[in-house]
């Protein structure tokens, strides 16, 4: 683990450093391009901090191991890319249902299937949100710089602990594999999971405003029943009852929904008087932001909007922007965030610059802006 200071490093390394700074207790993973540097770095550095590193037989097992470890009271994480994320979605649902805090890093690559392993893509945005089965909500963050790879990893752990839920760091190869300066600050604010009081009996229900129940650990002597089946507040299973299913699934959803204002975050620039707002995220948002600056310098009324937290989406703000301006969504996939943005701003209002395989230059997006504004 590096000391506080300024470093010139790759996004994946910054992510690994962020995890250690957040207090990572166990990492389990399986190699895959373009995410492997995270595990390479942790294999060496994590034990020195007292954390456990383990390479599993596949991503199904990796996701399972971090879930098991979280119940021993540790902060846990895995890192993968699309093919591995597909395998993780089964147990991601289990972690959600059992309210197990953990962090899943997906350094997205160009899919579908094996696609192009070293090339960036953001085609997993919908999968991060809907990939597992059943009704659920997910928190997913979208970094666009090496600094954010560090900061958002810490933030992912904080959300996971605060809301007792798995969190996806939805990076992409465009950021994972570039080197930039980043700062490890002297002081980092960390959130730790709510621990139960001696008399607490319900670890799977909460009437608190944030809907988050306290979380004990295995070995505390509480005879825990942790199950992916529908369960009551005390953990006992109810395989058929209406009330239990309704109360549990709605609360889990409310945990994210009702805390939305605490979770969502975006960057925007000169949106209010803009005729056109460029919406972008992840590595693509860098040249997109550059193109917006260039357009403005040439006198065009263009704004910039970037969700930092991609799920839950900044729905309301997008809707507001969509009523006043045209929208140009720039993304590294055909279907990434498109349906969500379209849902918020309406399809009449929306233009798309979608690109596959690699990032465009600023100029390429600038030309697209001019085209749309003509």
Partner 1 sequence: MITGKELREKYIRNQPTAFCPGCGDGMVLNSMSRAVESLGILRKDIVAVSGIGCAAWVVSPYWRVDTLHTTHGRAIPHAIGVKVGNKDLNVVVVSGDGDCVGIGGNHLIHACRNNIDLTVIMINNGLYAMTGGQVAPTTEYGERTITTPYGNPSHGMDVTKIVKAAGASHVSRWTTYHMRELTKEVKYALRKKGLSFIEVLTQCPTRTGKKDRLSGLDMLQWYKENTSKTPEEGKITVGRFVDIDRPELADEIYGQITASGGTPR
Partner 2 sequence: MIKVRIGGWAGQGTVLAGVVLGEALAIGQGYEVVQTRSYSAAVRSGISFSDVIADRETVDELTIDIPDFMIIQYQKTLDAWRPLVKECRCLIIDSIQVHDIPDTKNLIRIPASDIAKDLGNTKVANIVLLGVLSKLLPELEHDALKEAIKRVVPKRYEENNIEALEKGYEYASEY
Count of residues making up the chain: 374
In Å, what is the CA distance from 32 to each residue of 14, 44, 107? 18, 17, 9
360 lies in the binding site for partner 2 (CB under 8 A)? yes
CB of 17 within 8 A of CB of 1? yes
CA separation for the pair 146, 160 (Å, rounded): 21
Residues 13-42 that bind partner 1 (CB under 8 A): 23, 25-26, 28
Question: Which among 54-62, 191-199, 324-332, 354-362 is the span making contact with partner 1, rule CB under 8 A?
Answer: 54-62
Q: Under the criterion CB under 8 A, does residue 330 sit at the interface with partner 2?
A: no
| Residue nearer to partner 2 on the CB measure, 127 or 283 | 283
| Residue closer to partner 1 (CB basis): 28 or 38 | 28
Q: Is 265 among the residues that bind partner 2 (CB under 8 A)?
A: no
| Residue with Cβ nearer partner 1 (227 or 293) | 227
On whether the CB atoms of residues 17 and 150 are closer than 8 A, the answer is yes
Closer by beta carbon to partner 1, 102 or else 278: 102
Nearer to partner 1, 1 or 117 (CB): 1
Provide the minimum distance between the beta carbon of 306 and partner 2 in the complex, in angstroms, as a whole number: 11
Please report, to the nearest 10 degrees, the dihedral formed by the alpha carbons of residues 207, 209, 214, 215 taken in order. 110
Interface of this chain with partner 2, residues 37 to 96, rule: CB under 8 A: none
What is the crossing angle of helices 11-21 and 146-163, to 10°? 40
Q: 112: cis peptide before it, omega within 30°? A: yes
Contact string 67-96 vs partner 1 (x = CB under 8 A): xxxxxxxx-x-------------xx--x--
| Piece of 120-128, 154-162, 226-234, 362-370 that binds partner 1 (CB under 8 A) | 226-234
- Smallest separation, CB 363 to partner 1 (Å): 48
Q: Taking each helix axis as running N to C, give the angle between helix 315-324 and helix 338-345, from 0 to 180 degrees, rounded to the nearest 10.
A: 60
Residues 75-101: b if buried by 16+ CB within 10 A, e if exposed: bbbbbbbbbbbbbbbbbbbbbbbbbbb
Is residue 147 at the binding interface for partner 2, with CB under 8 A as the rule?
no
Residues 6+ apart with CB under 8 A from 312: 137, 139, 256, 257, 260, 263, 264
Question: Mask 93-112, x = binds partner 1 (CB under 8 A)?
Answer: -x------------------
Task: Catalog residues that contact partner 1 under the rule CB under 8 A.
Answer: 23, 25-26, 28, 47-54, 56-58, 60-62, 64-74, 76, 90-91, 94, 217-229, 236-237
Task: Catalog residues that contact partner 2 under the rule CB under 8 A.
Answer: 6-8, 34, 116-119, 174, 177-181, 283, 286-287, 289-290, 293, 358-363
């Amino acid at each position: 683990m590096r000391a506080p200071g300024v470093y010139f490093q790759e996004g994946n390394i910054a992510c690994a450093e962020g995890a250690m700074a957040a207090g990572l207790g166990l990492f389990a993973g399986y190699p895959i391009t373009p995410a492997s540097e995270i595990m390479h770095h942790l294999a060496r550095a994590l034990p020195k901090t007292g954390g456990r590193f383990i390479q599993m037989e596949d991503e199904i097992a990796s996701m399972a191991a971090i879930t098991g470890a979280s119940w021993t009271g540790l902060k846990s994480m895995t890192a993968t890319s699309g093919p591995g994320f597909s395998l993780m979605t089964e147990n991601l649902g289990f972690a959600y249902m059992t309210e197990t805090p953990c962090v899943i890093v997906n350094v997205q690559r160009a899919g579908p299937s094996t696609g192009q392993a070293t090339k960036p893509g953001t085609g997993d945005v919908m999968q991060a949100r809907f990939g597992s089965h059943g009704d659920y909500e997910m928190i997913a963050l979208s970094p666009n710089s090496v600094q954010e790879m560090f900061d958002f990893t810490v933030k992912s752990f904080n959300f996971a602990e605060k809301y007792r839920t798995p969190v996806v760091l939805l990076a992409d190869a465009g950021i994972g594999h570039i080197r930039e300066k980043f700062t490890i600050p002297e002081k980092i604010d960390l959130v730790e999971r709510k621990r139960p009081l001696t008399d607490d009996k319900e670890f799977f229900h909460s009437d608190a405003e944030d809907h988050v129940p306290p979380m004990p650990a295995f070995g505390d002597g509480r005879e825990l029943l942790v199950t992916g089946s529908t369960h009551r507040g005390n953990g006992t299973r109810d395989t058929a009852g209406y009330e239990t299913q309704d109360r549990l699934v709605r609360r889990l959803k409310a945990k994210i929904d009702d805390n939305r204002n605490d979770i969502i975050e975006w960057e925007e620039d000169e949106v209010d008087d803009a005729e056109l707002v460029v919406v972008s995220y992840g590595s693509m948002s860098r040249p997109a932001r550059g193109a917006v600056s260039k357009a403005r310098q040439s006198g065009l009324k263009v704004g910039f909007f970037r969700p930092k937290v991609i799920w839950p989406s900044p729905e309301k703000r997008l809707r507001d922007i969509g009523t006043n301006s045209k929208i140009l969504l720039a993304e590294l996939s055909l279907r990434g965030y498109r349906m969500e943005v379209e849902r918020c701003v309406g399809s009449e209002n929306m233009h798309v610059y979608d690109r596959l395989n690699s990032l465009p230059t600023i100029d390429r997006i600038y030309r697209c802006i001019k085209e749309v504004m003509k």
